[in-house]
Amino acid sequence: MASRVLRIGLIPGDGIGKEVIPAGRRLLEALPSSLGLKFDFVDLHAGFETFEKTGAALPDKTVEVLKNECDGALFGAVSSPSTAVKGYSSPIVALRKKLDLYANVRPVKTVVTAPKPIDMVIVRENTEDLYVKDERTFDAADGSGKVAEAIKRISEKASFRIATMAGDIALRREKIRAAGAPSIHKSPLVTITHKSNVLSQTDGLFRSTSRRALAAEQFAGKLEVEEQIVDSMVYKLFRQPEAYDVIVAPNLYGDILSDGAAALVGSLGLVPSANVGEGFAIGEPCHGSAPDIMGMGIANPIATLRSTALMLEFLGAEEAAAKIYAAVDGNLSEGKLLSPDLGGTAKTEEVVQDILKRL
Ligand code: ATP
Ligand code: MG
């Protein structure tokens, strides 16, 4: 069988990004050849260090190579300076815009680290809602002081494509479970999150469009769909996290829910994400550059390894992703080689080697 060759851009960025992204590369190289995948890597730059060296946090070359040559990418982390630095802004935010990566996908899963089992994925719309940043400030007509307001924009187009992606992910998760990645869920469920009891037009449109997208033929009879108002969702997310499989949310609620959910699993070092557009995905661990542990060789590589698997899912390599998830879960459930953030003493390198061995 001819191998499929995937070209992957590697953007380590700053801090522990440089320690964990190489682990993602080694993971891809270690995948069994029976999967029919080959990888080709291209080293790319972005981040604060790149900004200090070149004056650009996201060099044009990085964008062009990703756009024109790559199938996917891995992005480490970038440092955010504590005070605003003139000319510097987040390269990942710029990349999402330039490559139209309209979805932010964040799986949150525990194996042994929390009081309750958790295995959910939050699918966050990433292009609109309050984050269109259309704000203004003016004087109140009655002279009582200033008033500030912001536009919350919800479109049918963006709502439809994000809900469709959530449905696709729910069905794919079922396939990945079938391919041997352990899970607490038996059948696919999508929860639509909104506040349409108050915001009947904006969230109302998100809700009705998501419903319509998830009622499409490709999902008929294969998917359970429910809705939840965002405030009661937060309550239930903390009380009963095991109830959720796939959650789809507009940008702001998705932002808040995904950080809240990440807090449930005990370490940022476990939580992956992907920024996804049409035919392109960037895997990105949720954590930042972690300057406090940088250079100590103890960063937990699991968020990056899971992000690598997640990127593969979106590139149609589900079987490879399932193998990686199972290897990571094996490491966590055995619990012998855990990094310090999980209460262990293992170095990054030992965790990586254990997981590669399990592949
Ligand atoms: P940044 O400005 O880049 O976001 P930060 O100081 O906010 O940096 P984070 O990377 O967000 O740091 O991490 C928050 C905390 O979680 C830190 O104490 C960090 O050491 C820890 N942490 C983050 N990622 C990991 C990891 N992969 N392994 C172990 N600990 C981690
Ligand atoms: Mg941070």
- Per-residue pLDDT at 54: 94
pLDDT surpasses 80 at 293 = yes
Residue 117 vs residue 341, higher pLDDT: 341
What's the chain's average pLDDT? Answer: 94
Helices 348-358 and 318-334: crossing angle in degrees, nearest 10, is 120
User: Of all atoms in ligand 1, which is nearest to the CA of residue 303?
Assistant: 27
Under the banding of pLDDT at 50, 70 and 90, the label for residue 307 is very high
CB of residue 49 inside a 6 A radius of ligand 1:
no
Q: How far is the CA of 217 from the centre of ligand 1 (A)?
A: 43
Mean predicted confidence (pLDDT) in 195-206:
98
pLDDT surpasses 70 at 115 = no
What is the share, in percent, of the chain residues with pLDDT greater than 70?
98
Q: How far is the CA of 293 from the centre of ligand 1 (A)?
A: 8
pLDDT surpasses 80 at 104 = yes
Measured from the alpha carbon of residue 302, the closest ligand is 1
- Per-residue pLDDT at 117: 85
Under the banding of pLDDT at 50, 70 and 90, the label for residue 277 is very high
Residue with the nearest Cα to atom 6 of ligand 1?
290
In the block, residue with structure tokens 């269109």: 132
- Per-residue pLDDT at 291: 94
Mean predicted confidence (pLDDT) in 269-285:
96
What's the chain's length in residues?
359
CB of residue 270 inside a 6 A radius of ligand 1:
no
Q: What pLDDT, in 10s, does the model give residues 318-336?
A: 999 999 999 999 999 999 9
pLDDT surpasses 80 at 116 = no
pLDDT surpasses 80 at 2 = no
pLDDT surpasses 70 at 177 = yes
- Per-residue pLDDT at 263: 87
Dihedral angle at the C-alpha atoms of 96, 99, 102, 104, nearest 10 degrees? Answer: -50
Q: In what order do the strands lie in the sheet with 224-229?
A: 37-43, 4-13, 72-77, 280-283, 274-277, 103-109, 119-125, 246-249, 189-194, 224-229
Tell me how many degrees the CA angle 23-29-34 measures, rounded to the nearest 5: 140
Q: What pLDDT, in 10s, does the model give residues 144-162?
A: 999 999 999 999 999 999 9
C-alpha dist (Å) from residue 293 to 74, 222, 328: 21, 45, 22
CB of residue 42 inside a 6 A radius of ligand 1:
no
Measured from the alpha carbon of residue 346, the closest ligand is 1
- Per-residue pLDDT at 246: 98
CB of residue 274 inside a 6 A radius of ligand 1:
no
Quick one: how far is CA 221 from the chain centroid?
27
**What whole-number distance in Å separates Cα of residue 232 and Cα of residue 293?**
37
User: Of all atoms in ligand 1, which is nearest to the CA of residue 304?
Assistant: 27
Please give the DSSP secondary-structure letter assigned to residue 242: G
Give yes or no for a contact between 101 and 126, defined as CB atoms under 8 angstroms apart.
yes
- Per-residue pLDDT at 114: 59
Q: How far is the CA of 267 from the centre of ligand 1 (A)?
A: 9
- Per-residue pLDDT at 259: 87
Q: Which of 88, 119, 121, 77 is nearest to 103 (CA)?
A: 121
88: how many CB neighbours lie within 10 A of its CB? 18
CB of residue 342 inside a 6 A radius of ligand 1:
no
Mean predicted confidence (pLDDT) in 330-344:
95
User: Of all atoms in ligand 1, which is nearest to the CA of residue 302?
Assistant: 27
Mean predicted confidence (pLDDT) in 122-145:
96
CB of residue 341 inside a 6 A radius of ligand 1:
yes
Residue 207 vs residue 176, higher pLDDT: 207
CB of residue 348 inside a 6 A radius of ligand 1:
no
- Per-residue pLDDT at 178: 82
Q: How far is the CA of 83 from the centre of ligand 2 (A)?
A: 14
CB of residue 288 inside a 6 A radius of ligand 1:
yes
Could you give the count of Cα atoms lying within 13 Å of 305 in the half-sphere of its Cβ? Answer: 32
Mean predicted confidence (pLDDT) in 86-96:
89
pLDDT surpasses 90 at 199 = yes
Q: How far is the CA of 288 from the centre of ligand 2 (A)?
A: 5
Residue with the nearest Cα to atom 15 of ligand 1?
290
* pTM, rounded to two decimals: 0.93
Q: How far is the CA of 287 from the centre of ligand 2 (A)?
A: 6
Pocket test for ligand 1, best of 48, 258, 287 (most atoms within 8 A of CB): 287
Quick one: how far is CA 232 from the chain centroid?
23
pLDDT surpasses 80 at 337 = yes
Q: Which of 167, 165, 184 is nearest to 221 (CA)?
A: 167
Q: Which of 234, 264, 248, 236 is nearest to 189 (CA)?
A: 248
Under the banding of pLDDT at 50, 70 and 90, the label for residue 113 is low
